[in-house]
Every structure is written in C-alpha cells, then in structure tokens.
A = this chain, B = another copy of it.
Amino acid sequence: MTSIGERLPRKEDPRLLRGLGRFCDDQDRAGQVWMRVVRSPIAHGRLVEVRKPGSAPGGSVVTARDLPPGLRIPVRLTVQGIDLTEYLQPVLAADEVRYVGEPVAVVLADDPYEAEDIAERVEVDIDELPVTVDTASGTKAAEFELGYGPVESAFAQAAHVVTVEFDVGRHSAVPLEPRALLADVDPATGALRIFGMTKVPVFNRDVLAGMLGVDENLIHVHAMDTGGGFGVRGEFYPEDFLVPWLARKLRRPVKWVEDRAEHLVAANHSRQQRHVASAAFDENGTLLGLKDDVLHDNGAYARTHGIIVPELTLAMLPGPYRVPAFHGRIQVMLTNKTPCGTYRAPGRFEGTSVREQLFDVAADRMGIDRVELRRRNLLTADELPHTRAMSTLGTDVVLDSGDYAGLLDKAMVEADRLGYRSQLESLRERGHSAGLGVAVFLEKSGLGPQETADVVVGTSGEVRVHSGGTSLGQGIETVLAQVTADALAVDPAVVTVVNGDTVLQPFGGGSWASRSTVVGGSAVHKAALAVRERAIQLASRMLEVSEDDLEVAAGTIRVKGAPGMSVSYAEVATACRPGSPHLRNDEPAGLSARRRFEVEHMTYPYGVHLALVDVDTGTGHVKVLRYLVAYDVGRAINPTLVEGQLLGGVAQGVGGALLEEFRYDDAGQPQAVTFMDYQLPTAAELPHIDILVAQDAPAPGNPLGVKGAGEGGVTAAGASIAGAIRDALGLTGPVGRLPMTAERVRGLIEEGT
C-alpha cells in the first residue's frame, strides 16, 4: 500500500481548525517593543526632514540617518547581464521618496496602538517632484529580448497576421494574513531568532546576515504558520531588515504586524503590462511565428524579483504551442507606484491572456473553430521533449512531457458531459449575452537548483521531516508526510513535517515557483529511502539475517516469509543510539538521513480552462456561471490538495480578470487602499468550479513524476474569462484589457467593437 495518491485529510487542519495555528501575530515575547512604519504620503519628492513629534512619550523614531549607510535590498532572482543596482530599494528612504507607502522612518513603542499614534504624528517634510504614473512615460530600468527562429520571414510569408493590444491590470495577492515579523535577540551574542520569515527563509537569513554583517548561523528563522503566500509574502522587504536590526540594537524583542492598508501599498504589486502581440498563420491556420512587444510597469524600484517577471512573460509566451519562430521584447519601466514582484503564475497569467486572445481573434478571422485552431497548433506528445532556444530562471526551456491536445479533448468532453455548451445554448436562446471561453496554457514548476531534506526517526518511531519548504497554507506538510510514509512504508500519521526552520534545515530553498512538491518532495523521497535502507541494514544486524531477506511493511522491517521476525522503526532508531551494540564506531548515530535533490530543468505542467459567463449588457456586470480547470500534474500526491490549489487559483484569477486593480490618480495617490476599493471576489462572485486532475504525463525529471500544482488554477483565468466575454459580446477584436470591470464591459458594448 502506498500513501501517495490518497486523499488524506490535511495534517495541518487539526491545529488550524482549532485556532491553534502558530501565526506570527500569535507570538509575543516578554519585553517586546512594537515597530510601526512611517510611510511616505507623497508619490515623488525630495525628503527634507523627518521630525519626531515633540510630545512622543516613550516612543522613539528611527530614520535612514540612524541606519548603516547605503543599505539596499538585493535582487534574489538575477538575470545574467542585467544590473539593477541603481534601482534597488533602500531600507528607509534617505533623500528621495518614489511612491506612496515608501518607508521613511519607523517608530518604536511598548504597544502597537501607541506606536501607531506616534507614527501618525511624525512630521515628514517632502519637497514634491513630478510624478509618473503612466508606464510608457516611466524610467526604463531594463530592456531585453528573447526569441528564436526567423520571425520576420515567418510574418512575411504569413497568410494571416493577427495583432492584439492588451493591457493587464496592476493587481496582486492579498493573503488572509498580512505580513508580520518578530525578532528575538540573545543579548549576549546578538543571535537572532526570527518568526515570520516565510517563502525563502534560508535565502532571507543569508541576505539579513550580509546586511547585518554577521554569520548566517547567528540567525535562526523559525517555522511558522502563514496565512497565504502567493508570491508576495516572504520576499525580503525593508521590514525584514528593520525588525532584526532594531532587536539587536535595542537588545529587546521587536514585533511588527502590517495592517491591511499598509499591505495594499507596501507588499509587492504585480501583473501590470501592456502587450502588442502578433501571430502569423499560414492559410491552414498553422502558426508560423509569434511576437510580442511588452511594456512592464515595475513601480518605483527593482525589488527582490528583479526582472524575472518580464523574463518569464516572454519565455513562457509560446506556451504549449508549436511556435517555429518567436520574438519578444520587453521594456521594464519604473513609475511612482508600489514596486512589483511575482504573483502566482507570474508572467504566465499575463502572457496566456494575450496569447489566447490572439488565438480567439485569429480563429474568428480565419473562420476556424477556436478549439480546433488551438488543437491544430499544440505540440504533440511525439514532439516532446521540446527545447526552445531560450532560458528563464537560469534554466533552459525544455518542455518535458505531455499530451496537450489530449488534455484539451478531455476537457471539452468533460465540459460537454457537464453541460457547459448546452447551458450556453440555453442561455442564448433565452436572450442572454452568454459566452464560453477556452484557454490552453503551459505552466512551469519544480525550479532547482536543489532542495534538501532530513528524515529523522525518533526512538518512539515518530518520523520527523525537516524540509526547506514553507507552510503557506498549501498543505505541504501533508504532501511531504505522504511522500515519506510511502518511502518508509509507515502510516502518514506518524510523520511530522517541519518546514522552514533554518536550524533544522539550513539548506532549504523555500516554497515558491511551484517547487515544494517537485523538488522538496523529491529530496524528502531520497532522504526517506536512505533511512529505509539504513533501517534494513540495522535490522539485518539485529535479526541476524541478510539484508536481502528483509522487507519493509506496515512500519516494520521483517523477514520475508516470516513476518513474525521483525523489528519496528522505533527499535531500529533505538539501536542507532550512541553506545548501542548495533552501531559501529565509524557510523553516525541516529536513524536519519539528509539528502539533496538537484535539478537542472524545470518541469512543465499544462492545462485547460473553460469559463462560461453571462454578461449583463445593461450594467456591464460579468457573472462567471461555470468554470472548469483541467490540469495535468504528472502525479497527484494528494488529489484533494491539488484540487484545493486549483480552486484557490481560480478564485484569484477571477479577481484579476474581473475585479482587482490597484489604480492611481495622476498625483500617484493609490486609489485602492481598502477592500472597499480593492475588490476581491467573494463566494458570491465564484461559481462552482469543476476540476479535472490529469496524471497522464509524469515528469521524467524527478523520482515521483510530479509536476507542481500551485499555479495552474490562476494561469489561464484571465484568458478564459476574456475569451468568454469576447464570445458573449460577439467581439471581432480582442478584449483589450483586464480586469474587465463592469465599467469597461459597458465601454466595450458602447464602442460596439
């Protein structure tokens, strides 16, 4: 029996459902001081002075002048040959502020209310400078091209060339729990215990060590529960330096919890791009070439992601299609808005929206069925692995395995079975402006270069896994427990997974880029197999039989054919203690193993989204009636969790497609700083979502065959909903931008495009 593939209840749930989650704000340290960030109220200006209010009792104010000079937050994901040094964000603005919300000072007080009160009375004197909110007018921080093949000749030979202009709106993740950080210092050594660093704790530990000028082993980032990550949480932000630095300086614990208004201006924004994309087809609708010219609005600074979102946008734009020639150019523009980073399916949400609109417009123009046009141009299983002469995230783009058309067919059959098309017809018959959108997409996951895992068996038989992933709410503890239980042939109930503790796992890569199950899971698998092998070796000594005569089953190592002759993992662990007669002098004590799984290439899951929408042509309101996601994840460790990932992704995708947008006025003032203005989809905005988890194309590059499931729910949501709206309104041209708010839908209707 294997526990892989089982729909096990989440190991996280008993604590989370009973309110026993260990979120950062649940942590308090005796004697802690609270930090509050004073943020710029002006989008652009010269910072003249920051004055502490005369009557601030007990509190103190720290500005850039109090910090070590020249501190800027480095890029985590660099792109070779592109230097962003001059665009990096300082920890606190020193001379110039560049967006509303930029940290200019911090206030410290004994309680959070006092800190907030003082912060409000800090006087920030700024000489205003001209403000840029329009992407095209911004400062160009970088420009680069990606592509391969003879694009110009492809377009020259084309029977049909289709061009669309498309704007993707600025929005981002809004995790349930805002950011928070607590740093507890050992006054004797300056050693730091940090709570609340998520996503890439080891990397952030190292950045912090570098900025503080201390050894990385002086910093212990602890495992935490986290109320959602989605790319924005857990990157290294100014507060990630300020809180630990202050704790060391004050020799007191320092705590900071972001409020929602702060989160909406301080955490990474994402997505904002303007595309001009063209596709060239021959007379049969065969794609000859693809090109895209992109303006990417990165906000005021280059943050930790550098220009990886622009790079991914281009590198993933050809998607699952046979694209003989491709050229993409992207200009990364800085504006006086919140800096940008990744948000779930970064670059793919944007690029898929554009590419799939191209297919829809082209199909209509060529008179080919939209699904058929796609099917005709999808790479076939025989064509894989398929290498594109591009690289992204430091890896070559090699599509590893898949049956893209097969999944498209499955999705269409499933949609028909579920009555999507019949419902569409019925709605139309009743006079509704209903539409069906279909989008096919490619995802990427399992980014290396490595993940490391420890599997440790205690003398009670409990198995502990120390993984480099982080628990962001995605259920990774459950998944890794299943992987471990499978390899050891134990009940997953005896497996406890600790993620993101930098002492327990100092070589962790973190949870991002849909890599936890693929890379982290494979490392756990390797470590667990090593433990199993070691247990067999010890059992052989204990039972005095050959290793070949032993098998592992139901938590015991037993003699084949004589299951009564067995030892338990608990007994083996006890036999591995120092001083045990079964342990040899040159062998390490303990029943445990640390293993590293290295990968050079990513793996590429793929999927199909179908959206059935009903447009109220009077109000412009778009209602998503039905939604189907088909996604091939190679192998589902826990199908329920894959479905959960996809459901959540769709919800965020609906938000990005219809509702969520960070708008700014001409003075650079953010217009969405509460949930009244930044509109998230609620349960009322979401239909029942149909999920089809496919496992037809296991990943060849990892022992579990898995592909990441974290992002495929959102990737094509903009594309499918845009397609559905276009279908509903009978547009000949593209839906030119997202989100398709009611106002914009009314605009489309009025234009009669």
- Chain A residues 561 to 595 lying within 8 A of chain B, measured CB to CB, are 577-579, 585, 588-590, 594
Q: Which residue of B lies closest to A588 (CB)?
A: B594
CA–CA, A577 to B598, complex, Å? Answer: 12
Would you call A450 an interface residue if the criterion is a C-beta within 8 Å of the partner chain's C-beta atoms?
Answer: yes
Q: Which residue of B lies closest to A20 (CB)?
A: B188
Would you call A620 an interface residue if the criterion is a C-beta within 8 Å of the partner chain's C-beta atoms?
Answer: no
Contact (Cβ within 8 A) A596 B590: no
Q: What's the nearest-Cβ distance from chain B to residue A446, in Å?
A: 15
Would you call A503 an interface residue if the criterion is a C-beta within 8 Å of the partner chain's C-beta atoms?
Answer: yes
CA–CA, A504 to B452, complex, Å? Answer: 17
Contact (Cβ within 8 A) A589 B507: yes
**A147-155, A210-218, A315-323: which lies at the B interface?**
A210-218
Map CB proximity to B onto A380-407 as digits: 1 under 8 Å, 0 otherwise: 0000000000000000000000000000
Contact (Cβ within 8 A) A189 B579: no
Contact (Cβ within 8 A) A460 B214: yes
Residues of chain B with a CB closer than 8 A to A28's CB: 30-31
Would you call A458 an interface residue if the criterion is a C-beta within 8 Å of the partner chain's C-beta atoms?
Answer: yes
CA–CA, A216 to B585, complex, Å? Answer: 23
Contact (Cβ within 8 A) A217 B598: no
Would you call A746 an interface residue if the criterion is a C-beta within 8 Å of the partner chain's C-beta atoms?
Answer: no
Would you call A464 an interface residue if the criterion is a C-beta within 8 Å of the partner chain's C-beta atoms?
Answer: yes
Contact (Cβ within 8 A) A462 B189: no
Would you call A122 an interface residue if the criterion is a C-beta within 8 Å of the partner chain's C-beta atoms?
Answer: no
Of B209, B218, B452, B460, the residue contacting A209 (CB under 8 A) is B460
Would you call A29 an interface residue if the criterion is a C-beta within 8 Å of the partner chain's C-beta atoms?
Answer: yes
With A216-B458, A452-B578 already in contact, the answer to whether A503 and B503 are too (CB < 8 A) is yes
Of B20, B22, B460, B578, the residue contacting A216 (CB under 8 A) is B460
Of B22, B29, B462, B579, the residue contacting A186 (CB under 8 A) is B22
- Chain A residues 199 to 234 lying within 8 A of chain B, measured CB to CB, are 206, 209, 214-218, 225
Q: Which residue of B lies closest to A30 (CB)?
A: B28
Would you call A456 an interface residue if the criterion is a C-beta within 8 Å of the partner chain's C-beta atoms?
Answer: yes
Residues of chain B with a CB closer than 8 A to A209's CB: 460
Residues of chain B with a CB closer than 8 A to A214's CB: 460
CA–CA, A503 to B589, complex, Å? Answer: 14
Q: Which residue of B lies closest to A29 (CB)?
A: B30
CA–CA, A452 to B32, complex, Å? Answer: 36
Q: Which residue of B lies closest to A253 (CB)?
A: B30
Would you call A15 an interface residue if the criterion is a C-beta within 8 Å of the partner chain's C-beta atoms?
Answer: yes
Residues of chain B with a CB closer than 8 A to A578's CB: 449-450, 452, 507, 509, 596, 598
- Chain A residues 449 to 468 lying within 8 A of chain B, measured CB to CB, are 449-450, 452, 456, 458-462, 464
Q: Which residue of B lies closest to A394 (CB)?
A: B579
Residue picked from A22, A215, A458, most chain B C-beta under 10 Å: A215
Q: Which residue of B lies closest to A459 (CB)?
A: B216
Q: What's the nearest-Cβ distance from chain B to residue A257, in Å?
A: 15
Contact (Cβ within 8 A) A188 B462: no
With A30-B30, A589-B507 already in contact, the answer to whether A462 and B215 are too (CB < 8 A) is yes
Residues of chain B with a CB closer than 8 A to A21's CB: 188
Q: What's the nearest-Cβ distance from chain B to residue A637, in Å?
A: 22
CA–CA, A461 to B209, complex, Å? Answer: 13
CA–CA, A12 to B37, complex, Å? Answer: 37
Contact (Cβ within 8 A) A188 B596: no
Would you call A712 an interface residue if the criterion is a C-beta within 8 Å of the partner chain's C-beta atoms?
Answer: no
Residues of chain B with a CB closer than 8 A to A461's CB: 215
CA–CA, A461 to B187, complex, Å? Answer: 22
Residues of chain B with a CB closer than 8 A to A459's CB: 206, 215-216
- Chain A residues 411 to 452 lying within 8 A of chain B, measured CB to CB, are 448-450, 452
Would you call A496 an interface residue if the criterion is a C-beta within 8 Å of the partner chain's C-beta atoms?
Answer: yes
CA–CA, A589 to B452, complex, Å? Answer: 9
Q: Which residue of B lies closest to A451 (CB)?
A: B578
Q: Is the interface of A mostly helix, strand, loop or mixed?
A: loop
Would you call A506 an interface residue if the criterion is a C-beta within 8 Å of the partner chain's C-beta atoms?
Answer: yes
CA–CA, A590 to B508, complex, Å? Answer: 12
Residues of chain B with a CB closer than 8 A to A187's CB: 15, 20, 22
CA–CA, A496 to B217, complex, Å? Answer: 10
Residue picked from A32, A218, A452, A579, most chain B C-beta under 10 Å: A579
CA–CA, A139 to B627, complex, Å? Answer: 81
Residues of chain B with a CB closer than 8 A to A458's CB: 215-218
Q: What's the nearest-Cβ distance from chain B to residue A595, in Å?
A: 9
Contact (Cβ within 8 A) B217 A464: yes
CA–CA, A30 to B31, complex, Å? Answer: 8
Contact (Cβ within 8 A) A456 B217: yes
- Chain A residues 124 to 142 lying within 8 A of chain B, measured CB to CB, are none
Contact (Cβ within 8 A) A22 B596: no
Residues of chain B with a CB closer than 8 A to A186's CB: 22
Q: What's the nearest-Cβ distance from chain B to residue A180, in Å?
A: 15
Of B30, B188, B449, the residue contacting A579 (CB under 8 A) is B449
Q: Which residue of B lies closest to A506 (CB)?
A: B590
- Chain A residues 8 to 41 lying within 8 A of chain B, measured CB to CB, are 15, 20-22, 28-32
CA–CA, A51 to B32, complex, Å? Answer: 38
- Chain A residues 495 to 525 lying within 8 A of chain B, measured CB to CB, are 496, 503-504, 506-507, 509
Contact (Cβ within 8 A) A22 B589: no
Contact (Cβ within 8 A) A590 B216: no
- Chain A residues 147 to 189 lying within 8 A of chain B, measured CB to CB, are 186-189
Q: What's the nearest-Cβ distance from chain B to residue A704, in Å?
A: 18
Residues of chain B with a CB closer than 8 A to A449's CB: 578-579
CA–CA, A87 to B461, complex, Å? Answer: 31
Q: What's the nearest-Cβ distance from chain B to residue A341, in Å?
A: 22
Q: Which residue of B lies closest to A592 (CB)?
A: B506
Residues of chain B with a CB closer than 8 A to A589's CB: 450, 452, 507, 596
CA–CA, A458 to B187, complex, Å? Answer: 21
Q: What's the nearest-Cβ distance from chain B to residue A478, in Å?
A: 15
Of B22, B188, B496, B588, the residue contacting A22 (CB under 8 A) is B188
Q: What's the nearest-Cβ distance from chain B to residue A530, in Å?
A: 12
With A30-B30, A590-B506 already in contact, the answer to whether A189 and B452 are too (CB < 8 A) is no
29 A-B pairs with CB atoms under 8 Å apart are A15-B187, A21-B188, A22-B186, A22-B187, A22-B188, A29-B30, A30-B30, A206-B459, A209-B460, A215-B458, A215-B461, A216-B458, A216-B459, A217-B456, A217-B458, A217-B464, A448-B579, A449-B578, A450-B579, A450-B589, A503-B503, A507-B577, A507-B578, A578-B596, A578-B598, A579-B598, A585-B598, A588-B594, A589-B596
Known A-B contacts: A15-B189, A29-B30, A215-B464. Give 19 more (CB < 8 A): A15-B188, A20-B187, A21-B188, A28-B31, A189-B496, A206-B459, A215-B458, A215-B459, A215-B460, A215-B462, A217-B464, A218-B462, A450-B578, A503-B503, A507-B577, A507-B578, A509-B578, A585-B598, A589-B596
- In the A-B complex, the 3 residue pairs with the closest CB atoms: A28-B30, A15-B188, A215-B462
